[in-house]
Amino acid sequence: MIQSWNRYPRVTHAQVIDLWDRHAPLPGTDRPLLPHGNGRSYGDVCLNAGGVLLRTRPLDRFIVFDRATGRLRCEAGVLLRDILNLTVPQGWFPAVTPGTQYVTVGGAIANDVHGKNHHVAGSFGHHVRCLELLRSDGTRMLCSPEKNPDWFRATVGGLGLTGLITWAELQLIPIANPALVTETHSFATLDGFWDLNRELERRWPYTVAWIDCTARLGRGLLLAGAHAPMQAHPFAWRSRSWRFPLEPPISLVNSLSLRLFNQIYYHLPRGKGRQLSHYQPFFYPLDRIREWNRLYGRRGFFQYQCVLPPQAARKGVAELLQCIAASGSGSFLAVLKTFGDKPSAGMLSFPRPGVTLALDFPNRGPETLALFRELDAVVRDAGGGLYPAKDARMPGELFRRAYPEWENFQRFIDPQFSSSFWRRVTGEA
Ligand SMILES: Cc1cc2nc3c(=O)[nH]c(=O)nc-3n(C[C@H](O)[C@H](O)[C@H](O)COP(=O)(O)OP(=O)(O)OC[C@H]3O[C@@H](n4cnc5c(N)ncnc54)[C@H](O)[C@@H]3O)c2cc1C
C-alpha cells in the first residue's frame, strides 16, 4: 500500500503505474490521475483514493548539466540526493533544499518547498528556470517565468494538479566545498528568539530554530550556517545511517519521552563559537535514521505546520505554544523559521512573509484532532495558513481563506487530475 510519510490516512488506489519514459503519453484511463514522487509529503496531497497514482521515481535521468553555469536539466523523478552526489563534487549546490534529500524534483516543485534560507533565497520554485508539463490531452507545454508564465505560476506549488512535470531545469548555486560554517545559539524565552533571529538573519543565509515545546518559557536553540569559504579545511565525512528497527504497536512518543528528549537535546554539549559541518548533518539530520516515521506506531502521526503573517507572528506563536503545553502534547522537533518578503513563486505556494512553526504529533485520534481545532483558531485569527504538504485534516474553509488564489487556480487543473487532498479541501465529490 502506498502511504505518505506520516502514514495517515491509509487509502486504496485503483491502480499504481510506474512511469519510465518521459516521451510517452499519459496512460489511458477514465479514473482521476495524480503524480506521486517519493511520498515524502505528510497527509493526502500525494494520495488519490480510488484513483490512479503515476509514480515518477523511474523518471530518474539527468538530461544535461552545465558545470560552468550550474544549470541542471533532469527528469522529474530524480532525487535531490542524486543531484547532490552529482553536483557537490563539481562545486554546485541546490539553491533551496528542504529538510530531507529524499524528495524528487517534481515533488519539490509541486509543493514549492522551502529551506532554511527562505529569507534570502525564497523557495524552490524561484530557482526553476523552466519545466515541461504533460497534460492528459497529450499537449506538452514549456513553462517558465517568461514562457506561459501563468501555467508556470500554477504548476509551481500546484500540488500535482495541473498535469505531469516530466523534466525541469534548475539553477544551482556555486560552493567552494561540501562544508558549512555554523553557529548555535541558545535562547531562554520566545522574546529572546525574536531578537537573536533578527540579528542572525542579517548575517547568515541559513537559519532555523528548535523550540522546546515541553518548557513553558519557549526556550530553544537557533542554528545559523553558511557555505564554507575556500580556505576551510577539507575533512573526511562518512555517511552512516541506521534503520528504525521495528513498528511498535503504539507510539513511542509520549509526554515522558518528549520531556526527556527535549531536556537532553537542549543541554547537549555543543562546541562554542564557529564550527565546520558537512552539509549532510546540517541540512538532513533526520535522514540518518531511515524510516524514523515508524517510531509513531501503526496509527501514524500528524505534522502541523502553519505560517503566520509578520504583524501577528509574536502573539500567534506564543498562543500556539501555550495551547500545546496546556494539552500535554508536544513534539520532538518544533521548528521555527522566519520567511522573507520575496513574493511567492506559485499561486498556491505556502511560503509567504512571516514566520512558520512546524510540529509533529502522534495520532491519538479525537484528542489530537481537538488540539488541532484550537490551533486552527489561532492560525485563522492571525490571518495565517497551513502547509498542504504537511496536512491530512485542515478544514476546507481554512484552506480557501489562506489560499485566495485557489479559485483562479482551478482554471489550470487538468480535467483528468485530482487528489484526495483537493477533493477534501474543496468539497468536490
Ligand atoms: C523529514 C522531512 C523533512 C521535510 N522538510 C521540509 C522542509 O524543510 N521544507 C518543505 O517545504 N518541505 C519539507 N518536507 C516536505 C517535502 O519536502 C515535500 O512534501 C516534498 O514535496 C516531497 O516530495 P516527494 O518527491 O516525496 O513528492 P510527493 O510527496 O510524492 O508528492 C508531493 C506533491 O508533488 C506532486 N508531484 C510529484 N511529482 C510530480 C510531477 N512529476 N509532476 C507534477 N506533480 C508532481 C504530487 O502529486 C504531490 O502533490 C519534509 C519532509 C520530510 C519527510
Compute the distance between CA of residue 106 and CA of residue 142 in angstroms, rounded to an integer. 15
Q: Whose CA is nearest to atom 48 of ligand 1?
A: 46
Distance from residue 236's CA to the centre of ligand 1 (Å): 30
Site to substitute for ligand 1 among 113, 349, 413, most atoms within 8 A of C-beta: 113
Q: Give me the residues paired with residue 208 across strands.
A: 223
- Give the residue carrying C-alpha cell 528548535: 210
Compute the distance between CA of residue 372 and CA of residue 383 in angstroms, rounded to an integer. 16
Cβ-based burial of 171 (10 A; exposed 0-12, middle 13-18, buried ≥19): middle
Site to substitute for ligand 1 among 111, 352, 421, most atoms within 8 A of C-beta: 111
Distance from residue 5's CA to the centre of ligand 1 (Å): 10
Distance from residue 119's CA to the centre of ligand 1 (Å): 20
Radius of gyration of the chain, Cα coordinates, nearest whole angstrom: 21
Confidence of residue 163 (pLDDT cuts 50, 70, 90): very high
Residue 372: per-residue pLDDT: 97
Work out whether strand 52-55 and strand 15-18 pair parallel, antiparallel, or are unpaired.
parallel
Residue 228: per-residue pLDDT: 96
User: Bigger pLDDT: 333 or 384?
Assistant: 384
Question: 337 CB contacts (<8 Å, ≥6 apart)?
Answer: 116, 118, 207, 208, 209, 355, 356
Range in 42-46, 144-148, 166-170, 237-241 with the lowest mean pLDDT? 237-241
Distance from residue 110's CA to the centre of ligand 1 (Å): 7
In the structure, which protein residues have their CB atom closer than 6 angstroms to any atom of ligand 1? 5, 34-41, 45-46, 56, 76, 98-100, 103-104, 106-108, 110-111, 113-115, 159-160, 164-165, 286, 389
Compute the distance between CA of residue 189 and CA of residue 24 in angstroms, rounded to an integer. 56
Backbone angles phi, psi at 249, to 5 degrees: -65, -35
Q: Is the pLDDT assigned to residue 302 strictly greater than 70?
A: yes
Distance of CA 221 to the CA centre of its chain: 21
Compute the distance between CA of residue 421 and CA of residue 367 in angstroms, rounded to an integer. 22
Q: Is the pLDDT assigned to residue 269 strictly greater than 90?
A: no
Distance from residue 159's CA to the centre of ligand 1 (Å): 9
Closest by CA position to 145, among listed 117, 119, 106, 171? 171
pLDDT tens by residue, 231-262: 766 566 677 777 777 777 777 767 666 666 66
**Secondary element (H or E) of residue 354:** strand 354-362
- CB-CB contact of 110 with 152 (8 Å): no
Residue 242: per-residue pLDDT: 78
Q: Kindly report the average pLDDT of the chain as a whole number.
A: 93
- Give the residue carrying C-alpha cell 522546546: 212
Q: Is the pLDDT assigned to residue 265 strictly greater than 70?
A: no
pLDDT tens by residue, 373-382: 999 999 999 9
pLDDT tens by residue, 51-65: 999 999 999 999 999
Site to substitute for ligand 1 among 4, 5, 21, 41, most atoms within 8 A of C-beta: 41
pLDDT tens by residue, 392-419: 999 999 999 999 999 999 999 999 999 9
Range in 74-83, 227-236, 351-360 with the lowest mean pLDDT? 227-236
User: Bigger pLDDT: 262 or 335?
Assistant: 335
Residue 230: per-residue pLDDT: 86
For CA atoms 96, 224, 209, 377, the dihedral sign is negative
Mean pLDDT score, 29-51: 98
Compute the distance between CA of residue 56 and CA of residue 137 in angstroms, rounded to an integer. 19
Residue 239: per-residue pLDDT: 73
pLDDT tens by residue, 174-194: 999 999 999 999 999 999 999
Mean pLDDT score, 108-123: 98
Distance from residue 26's CA to the centre of ligand 1 (Å): 21
Q: Whose CA is nearest to atom 32 of ligand 1?
A: 107
Distance from residue 389's CA to the centre of ligand 1 (Å): 7
